[in-house]
A and B are shown apart, each in its own frame.
Chain A
Amino acid sequence: MSIAYVSTCRFDAWSVLLRYIYIPWGEFMTNGDIDQQEAIRLRNQELEKLLAACALSDRKAFARLYSMTSAKLYGVVLRILNRDDLAQDCLQDAYIKVWNNAGNYRSQMAAPLTWMSAIVRNQALDLLRKRKREVMESNDNGLPEQIDGALLPLEGLTRTDDGKRLGNCLEQLKEQQRQVIALAYFKGLTHDELAAYTETPLGTIKTWIRRGLDQLRRCLES
């Protein structure tokens, strides 16, 4: 460890957060966009502080965090699980996870809601996989909540700049590529399951996903 390096670290911690959230293309935005960005920045700032307080075991801060985020995250869980009872149990476990791991949140890596959404999504996918195993063990072919007609919320990607950009890039993929990526993301389907569900050879599925991801990355970075 270099003490000299430490000595360069002289600034207020919250100014770092502001730097990460700052949007450099402000001059091209309308007043409405700026207001929205400012609202997001302030919300993120508050969520960061609440997560830090949760890490220090402040239950009141956790209650506030829940009130600010639970509708958003419940929407995510419902989209993945499609069943109220499962979604409510899943949401409960996900928040316990947030409480237990708030000290592991790193603002440099993701916005607070992105981090929490990832926890919720993974919790929901875990539950789907567990139910899948149970169904396989009972030789039951039905898994109604896993695959349904409303599983691709890609057409809703129009509310934010990032959403529009991702939506545009997904549009450039082949329909099948888009489908398998969405099925994997929202329903936790493996390569084998995707091959079976779409009645496509396994090798083709792997190629679709690999190329699809590569295309997506290039498009988003361009």
Chain B
Amino acid sequence: MMPENEQQDSNTLAGEYVLGTLQGQDRIDFERRLDSDRQLQGEVDAWHQRFAPLLDDIEPVTPPKAVWDQIAHRIEPGQPTHEKSSGFWNSLSFWRNLGMVAATLVLALGMTLMTTRQQGMEIDSIMVVLNDQYRTGWLVGAHASEGFLNVKAVEPTELPKGKVCQLWMEDERGHLHPIGLLPHNGSQQMDLPNAMSTQNRFKVSVELMDLLPKDKPSNEIVFEGNLTEI
């Protein structure tokens, strides 16, 4: 366990980091620690929350319509959506959750993102599938009228080699239908087996890649949830 004064130092450093007064080498060192130190990440988040009312209580001001027009243009398919400036917060530490993802995965995500962006389809409903750390493992967006799901890996559960997460949909009679395998990176489209309803429940089981069941999960269900309309 961390000594109290050391804990206090790290807490104050986290406060200075969020405040913006931690600069230069101290900031670089701090961000290096932040990449892998979950406790420090929690302290930074706590400081964001403590200061949040300073921003929450600012009076809203409606921006001119031209701002949205520009933004809408920039996210059109085919438009580069790069950001103009690159400050400290563009660093890996600010988006530290990405730090858990291997470089190859980032590349794969980017490629997939470009493909799905070009399609730009509207989503009717959405489901968050949690990973083994109770964090967002995958995002599932339903295009009900088109009859398919778009599944994107966010922080997938790390599985032993040869094992995969299989997604199932439960019909009104309680029968499970295999939908597909949750991707370990990038996005994947999955066809729905029949006319879907937002009431349909989805389940996830962990299966052996070489022995995928077709009728029912062979192992216990590790997640279940519903789509919610947006």
State the A residues within 8 Å of B (CB).
Answer: 1-3, 5-7, 9-14, 16, 46, 49-50, 52-53, 55-63, 66, 70-72, 74-76, 78-79, 87-88, 91-93, 95-97, 99-101, 103-104, 106-111, 113-114, 117-119, 121-123, 125-127, 129-130, 153-154, 156-160, 162-163, 165-167, 181-182, 184-186, 188-191, 194, 209-210, 213-214, 216-217, 220
Contact = CB atoms under 8 A, between A and B. Distances in A.
25 contacts: A1-B160, A3-B222, A6-B131, A6-B222, A9-B131, A10-B221, A63-B72, A71-B60, A74-B62, A74-B67, A75-B60, A93-B83, A99-B71, A99-B75, A100-B83, A106-B136, A119-B89, A122-B87, A122-B89, A130-B85, A156-B57, A162-B56, A191-B23, A213-B12, A216-B50
A104 B221 CA distance: 26
Given A52-B128, A57-B117, A88-B66, A6 B206 contact: yes
Of B131, B132, B154, most A-chain CB atoms within 10 Å:
B132
Given A71-B62, A125-B87, A214-B8, A9 B228 contact: no
Given A61-B123, A107-B136, A122-B89, A53 B71 contact: no
Given A53-B123, A114-B49, 4 more contacts: A108-B134, A153-B54, A185-B19, A214-B8
B56 A117 contact: yes
A11 B127 CA distance: 12
Interface in B83-114: 83-89, 94-95, 97-98, 109, 113
B141 A162 contact: no
B57 A92 contact: no
Contact of A56 (B75, B95, B150): B150
A213 B139 contact: no
A159 B57 CA distance: 7
Say what secondary structure dominates the interface of chain A. helix
Contact of B220 (A7, A75, A156, A167): A7
Contact of A59 (B87, B120, B225): B120
Given A53-B126, A58-B122, A1 B157 contact: yes
Q: For the complex of A and B, list the 8 residue pairs with the smallest distance between their C-beta atoms, beginning with the closest.
A: A126-B87, A71-B60, A13-B128, A163-B53, A213-B15, A122-B89, A56-B141, A74-B63
A184 B19 contact: yes
Interface in B9-39: 11-12, 15-16, 19-21, 23
A123 B63 contact: no
